[in-house]
Structure 1
Amino acid sequence: MNPAPGSRGAVITAWITTPITAALVRGAPELEPTAHGLRPHRLPARARAQTPDPQLAMVEAQPSGVRLCFRTTATAIELDALATRRAYAGVPSRPPGVYDLLVDGHLTGRQSVPGGDTLTITMATGAVEHRAGPVGTVSFTGLPGTAKDVEIWLPYDEITDLVALRTDAPVVPVTGDGRPVWLHHGSSISHGSNAASPSTTWPALAAARGGVELVNLGLGGSALLDPFTARTLRDTPADLISVKIGINLVNADLMRLRAFIPAVHGFLDTIRDGHPDTPLLVVSPIHCPIHEDTPGPGAFDLAALREGQVRFTATGDPAERAAGKLTLRVIRDELARIVTQRAPDDPHLHYLDGPALYGAADFAELPLPDRLHPDAATHRRMGDRFADLVFAGDGAFARVGA
């Protein structure tokens, strides 16, 4: 009896290896063959080809919301994967990404895969050093031998190549239970930022409470009203759609008010080309003091970096608002006005003010650790509030699938 590598003491007499195919993967429109296995992508190849931005290339391949889903009586499950992790020179390493095991919807196990590749980024120059590492294994044992639905949520913060899936009993893809599909787009805050694990990002928590299937197109640093992102939203089957717009536009100092207004209209128009009657929720930015009234660009706080800490600061001048520079308050006002303007011709369009999810009072209690991104506790608060405001009562998504 030879347990497979990574079985961590489990003695399995007959492992069954199941090919990983699209039928087992949810939340990723494309699986790219690599030298090691299959890499989930959250943007299709055509969209990826339309920008040279390395930030977008990295984050869209980080599988936020992507999970393997199957039904099995297995008591032991192993997944081989190759992680690609990022690190910043001079800053303490981030902990490795987490895999969550859910059994019949309940969190049952949590592990990280060893090994993997590392990309070390020197922030002063932008130089990137690649260090190759081995494929690793996560192993979950001692599971009940009854038939059950299993989900393995992949890390939201590291590129993941899926290599092999082994179990001690056959698996079959879960064909779906008719739950509505919620397609969400946003920034790193929607991507996961500092959530504890992939099933506890605020969109994942809200989806669980709302009883919907999540497709998470949160793209760290890359919610920039790109036309190819709008077309991806247009072409993705969905029963519910939300777009959280604003913080990255200020961070990047990407456009002025003159460009922002028609860009939002165009983004919404493109989504409506594929989803003319789908409930569509526009969400403005949550409270973030550094950018409430100060334009971008955002930057790393160099004094904090010298102390080995990551914090962000705004480098713009509040007086530049008069020339059309964007701040979070400006964006909230404009998004509310745009939704109001469009509403008479689009009765399924809705607006949610971001500070209703996380506002100034929340910041006083649960400050943003790096001045930009929520922590694990804030993700939970935001997920609960989104569920209460949007999926319950008279919320924008409350009656879909009822």
Structure 2
Amino acid sequence: MITTPLTLDLVRGAAELETTARGVRPHRLPEWVRQQFPDGQLLAVESQPSGVRVAFSTRASRVALVSHPTRLAYRGVVRPRGRIDVFVDGVLTLADVLDGGDTIELDLSTGATTVLPGAPHTTVLEGLGEGEKLVDLWLPHNESIELVSLGTDAPVVAQPGHPALWVHHGSSISHGSNAAGPSETWPAVAARLGGVELRNLGVSGSALVDPFMARVIRDAPADVISVKLGINVVNFDAMRVRAFVPAVHGFLDTIRDAHPTTPLVLISPIFCGIHEHTPGPGAIDPASMATGQAAFMATGTPGDETLGRLTLSVIRRELRSLVERRAQDARLHYLDGTTLYGEADTAGHPLPDNLHPDTVTHRLIGERFASYAFGAAGPFSAFGPAESD
């Protein structure tokens, strides 16, 4: 077997690779951000490689990727393991559920954590034939992972570049929460339908209009950009209207410093009944813990919108108005998130935990975004109409 070093030309969608005792760990945010704001929540989620792929061309008939995952588990709560989804020439060939790795177990009642060490995991593809093929291993969107080694029975080379690069930023829904696998998050679905390469900057619980995130997007190569803001600001009860609107203006201004004419879509939140007219903070519903399936609730007071507190309905109103006031920016577009998932969708596609869509609903959102953005009249239409997946 040939062992190929895992470098950024093979690990796509990451900002950088950290060398560890085992191998390399992909990071979606650069080191300067992690040093500037070493928040535990942010550090945990940016190291979960949503949208990151090990991608190469090879004539190998056997491929073996050794990795060491690290997952966060809540005591008494059932959480599915992450997956590595393998595509060969664009076709899903293997959905490899992780086993082993390290577990950081959190007791929500006491805040105590326990580290449970485990063994490495190996993803194996065999019988691929000797012809040249494109291999994409989508890394888990919901567990951090160290890449230990890539072994093949023929040489590998980096895949040729995609025709366009899409940079997307959002919250846990963009990160992929409740999707079964990394290729089934809505941005991954939309990227494949649109025929673009994805860099996913969806960060669970951390889409808070942070200036450093705007600088990351500003400094990133991008042919098209989208930014989905609002739900985390409500979840944290982090701002009022007076602070939120100027912060979003500044966020967009920073992106435009380096991408003055790049198509940019500002997306408001999808429908979420608990926060439509009730401010945050959001919290885990204590009653749900007895079921083993955590659910969320809003703890704010309905009607506080009159005091400038943010709800999802207020955020949609303000983002729409903000884009209208920036009408001189012809390539800035507003997309109402309820066109991706609205109140009418809750009957057939309820949010299992009151906040995050399931796998089927991720696909629905991804298909709707692809149709909007990459369709003939869409803001990303220069990169071709969406095709069937």
Residue 125 of structure 1: how far off its partner (Å): 3.3
In the other structure, the counterpart of 2:185 is 201
CA contact (8 A) 2:194 2:383 kept: no
Which TM-score applies when normalising by structure 1?
0.94
Distance (Å, rounded) in 2 between the aligned partners of 1:394 and 1:104: 29
Structure-2 separation of matches of 1:69 and 1:390: 25
Distance 1:388 1:400 in 2: 12
Give matches, 1:209-220, under 5 Å: 209-220=193-204
Q: CA deviation at 1:364?
A: 1.3
Which residue in 2 is equivalent to 1:315?
299
Secondary structure of the residue aligned to 1:64 is coil
Residue of structure 2 in register with 1:175 after alignment = 160
Tell me how far apart the structure 2 counterparts of residues 52 and 171 of structure 1 sit (CA, whole Å): 36
Identify the match of residue 289 of structure 2 among 305, 326, 329: 305
Gaps of 5+ in 1: 1-14
Residues 1:343 and 2:331 are matched in the alignment? no
Kindly provide the amino acid, as one letter, of the partner of residue 23 in structure 1: D
Shift of 1:267: 0.5
Secondary structure of residue in 1 paired with 2:327? helix
RMSD over equivalenced CA pairs, Å:
1.2
Instruction: Report the equivalent of 2:241.
Output: 257
What is the CA distance between 1:147 and its match in structure 2?
A: 0.3
Counterpart residue number, 1:190: 174
Residue number in structure 1 paired with 2:89? 104
Following superposition, the deviation at residue 143 of structure 1 comes to 1.3
Aligned residue number for residue 383 of structure 1:
366
Matching residue of 2:335: 352
Shift of 1:130: 1.6
- The alpha-carbon distance between structure 1 residues 173 and 97, as it changes in their structure 2 partners (threshold 3 A), is same
1:395 corresponds to: 378
CA contact (8 A) 2:9 2:158 kept: yes
Task: State the shift of 1:112 in Å.
Answer: 2.4
Q: Which amino acid aligns with 1:34?
A: T
The residue aligned with 2:45 is: 59
| Superposed displacement of residue 176, structure 1 | 1.2
Q: Which piece of structure 1 moves more, 233-242 or 123-132?
A: 123-132
Is the CA contact (8 Å cut-off) linking 1:75 and 1:143 kept in structure 2? yes
Please tell me the residue identity of whatever aligns with 1:391: F
Matched residue of 2:239: which SS?
coil
Q: Which residue of 2 aligns with 1:149?
A: 134
Match of 2:356 in 1: 373
Deviations, residues 22-69 of structure 1 (Å, cap 9, x unaligned): 111100011001111101000001111122321111000000000011
Amino acid at match of 2:167: L
Aligned to 2:5: 19
CA distance in 2, matches of 1:247, 1:289: 12
**Does the residue aligned with 2:347 lie in a helix, a strand or coil?**
helix
State which of 228, 232, 238 in structure 1 corresponds to 2:222.
238
Alignment of 1:103-142 (within 5 A): 103-142=88-127
| Alpha-carbon distance in 1 for matches of 2:291, 2:89 | 44
Match in the other structure for 2:148:
163
Q: Distance in 1 between matches of 2:208 and 2:107?
A: 24
Deviation per CA, 1:289-317: give whole Å up to 9, x if none.
00000000000010111232210000000
Cα gap change, 1:127/1:51 in structure 2, threshold over 3 Å: closer, same or farther? farther
State the secondary structure of the residue aligned to 2:226: strand
Q: Which residue of 2 aligns with 1:83?
A: 69
- Displacement of 1:175 after TM fit? 2.9
- CA apart distance, 1:138: 1.2
Structure 2 gap ranges (5+):
none
Q: How many Å separate the matches in 2 of 1:241 and 1:160? A: 26
SS of 1:56's equivalent in the other structure is: helix
Moved over 4 A (4+): none
1:147-201 CA distance string (max 9 Å, x none) = 0111000000000100000111111111314x11000000010001111211111
Evaluate the alpha carbon distance shift between residue 376 and residue 143 of structure 1 in structure 2; reply closer, same or farther with a 3 A threshold. Answer: same
1:401 offset after TM fit, Å? 6.8
- Counterpart in the other structure of 1:10: none
Residue type matched to 1:376 in 2?
T
Q: Aligned to 1:22, what secondary structure does the other structure show?
A: coil
Tell whether 2:215 aligns with 1:226: no
- Change over 3 Å in CA distance of 1:175–1:399 after alignment to 2: closer
Partner residue of 2:254 out of 258, 270, 279: 270
Please say if residues 88 and 136 of structure 2, whose CA atoms lie closer than 8 Å, have aligned partners that are also in contact: yes
Alpha carbons 1:27, 1:216 under 8 Å: kept: yes
SS at match of 2:149: strand
Q: Work out the CA distance in 2 between the residues paired with 1:362 and 1:113.
A: 32
Write the distance in 1 (CA, Å) between the matches of 2:136 and 2:74: 31
Q: Number of matched residues?
A: 385
Cα shift readout 1:208-255 (whole Å, capped 9, x = no counterpart)? 111111110000111000111110000000000000001111111111
**2:263 — aligned with what?**
279
Per-residue CA deviation, residues 233-280 of structure 1 (Å, 9 max, x unaligned), is 000000000000011111111111111011000100111111111001
Confirm or deny: 8 A CA contact 1:114 1:137 kept in the other structure: no
Does the aligned pair in 2 maintain the 1:18–1:165 contact within 8 Å? yes
Q: Which amino acid aligns with 2:308?
A: G
The one-letter code of the counterpart of 2:98 is V
Aligned to 1:48: 34
Identity score, percent: 58
Aligned to 1:8: none
The answer to whether residue 318 in structure 2 is matched with residue 334 in structure 1 is yes
- DSSP-derived class of the 2:297 partner: strand
